[in-house]
Structure 1
C-alpha cells in the first residue's frame, strides 16, 4: 500500500503544516503503508492554459513536473493533502496543482483512492480550508476520511495535540483503505455529478474524444 503526502507550503522545512503531514505519514507508516512526501512548492508546475488537450487526447500539453506528480498520485492508494491557510484558501502552489487536474475530474481518476487533509492557520478558519481539499478529492472520484487543523495562536500545546491527532488519522487512512470503507453521502454526490456531467460529455463528444471514449468504456454513457 502506498500513501503520498502533499506539502504545499512555500516555507519548506519551517512549515507548521509540514509538522502535521510528517506525523500523519509516520502514522501511516506505522500502520504498514509505504509513504512518500512531496513538496509541490519545489516543483515546476505551470498554470493550466485551458488548451483542452487532456480532454481530447488524455495527455497534458505543458512540459513541466506535473505529469510525473500525477503519475505518483495515480499509483497511490491514499493521498494526504496539506496546506496552510493563505487568505482563506489553500496556497497558490496547491491551487495550481488542482487547476491542472481537469482530466482527473472529468474521468474520475481518483476513484478507489482515499484521502485526508491537514491545515494550520493563524486564526480559526480551519474547516473551510480542509473542505477545499476534501471536496477536491471527492470531486475527482475519491473518498475523504476527514482532516485535522490547528489554530497556531492557541500555542504549543494545541500544536502537539494536532500532531498526535494527525498521526492517528494517518493510521486510520490505512485502515480505511484496507477496509474499503464506504461513505454513502460522498458516493451519492459523485453519482449525482455523473448524471449531470454526462450531458456535457455527450455535448462535447467531438472535442473531448478521450473523455467520451473513457466514459463509454466505463459504461457511464452509451452512444
Structure 2
C-alpha cells in the first residue's frame, strides 16, 4: 500500500471512530434526558387522593366501588388516603363558628386526622350509598365539618369524583344526590372528573354482579 493511501485510510478510520463515539454519546445523553423527563413527568402526574367512604357496612356496595377506584388509582402510581366515615369518631358541626371557617374546630376528634389530608389533596372522592334518598349520615357529618377548613379548600383547585349506589332503579331517584354533589363542586371550585352511579344494588355484595366495579376501577386508572 502506498504511503499516501495508508494515511488517507488511517485518517478516515479515526474520523469514523470519533463520529461513532460522538453519536453513541449523544444517544446516551438523549436516553438519560428521556429518563429524567419521564421521571419528572411521573412525579408531576402523581396525585394525593383522599377517598371518603360513607357506608357503615364494611363489605357494602359503595365500599366495593371505592376499593376498585383505589386499586386503579394506585396502579397508576397515585397516593391514596382512605377515610371510612362510618368507622371514625366525627362530631356533627354545631354551628358555633369558633373556627371562623378557617381555624381549629372545638372538637378534637378523628376529623383532625383527616383535615391535613383534605387540605393537601389533589383530588377528593366521595363514595356513598343512598340512605333515604340522600347521602349517608356518616358521610354528611364529615362533609359538614369541611366548614372549619373552608378557607383552605374553597377556590383551591382540586379534582373530584362521585361513587354512589342505591337499591332503586329510577334515574330520577339519584338526581337529588347528584345535584348536591355538583352544587358542592361548583361552590368549592373543584373539577368533577367522573361519576359512577350504580342502581339496583341493595343487598351487600350485589354490585359484584354488575360492571360498576369495573367502571370505578377504570375511572381510577384513567387519572
Give the TM-score taking structure 1 as reference length. Answer: 0.69
CA distance in 2, matches of 1:120, 1:170: 17
**CA-CA distance at 1:54 after TM superposition:** 1.3
* Count of residue pairs the alignment pairs up: 172
Match of 1:31 among 73, 76, 99: 76
Q: Indicate the residue corresponding to 2:180 in structure 1.
A: 132
Q: Which runs of 4+ in 1 moved over 6 A?
A: none
For 2:137 and 2:79, the matched residues in 1 are separated by 28
Deviations 1:56-89 (A, max 9, x none): 7622111211122121111221111110000010
- The correspondence of residues 162-173 of structure 1 with structure 2, limited to 5 A, is 162-172=212-222
**Cα displacement (A) at 1:116:** 0.1
1:152 aligns with 2:152: no
The Cα RMSD (Å) is: 2.4
Q: How does 1:4-153 map to 2 (within 5 A)?
A: 4-12=50-58, 14-55=59-100, 58-105=103-150, 108-109=153-154, 111-124=156-169, 125-153=173-201
Distance 2:199 2:74 in 1: 26
Question: Within 5 Å, which residues of 2 pair with 1:170-185?
Answer: 170-172=220-222, 174=223
Tell which structure's C-alpha radius of gyration is larger. 2
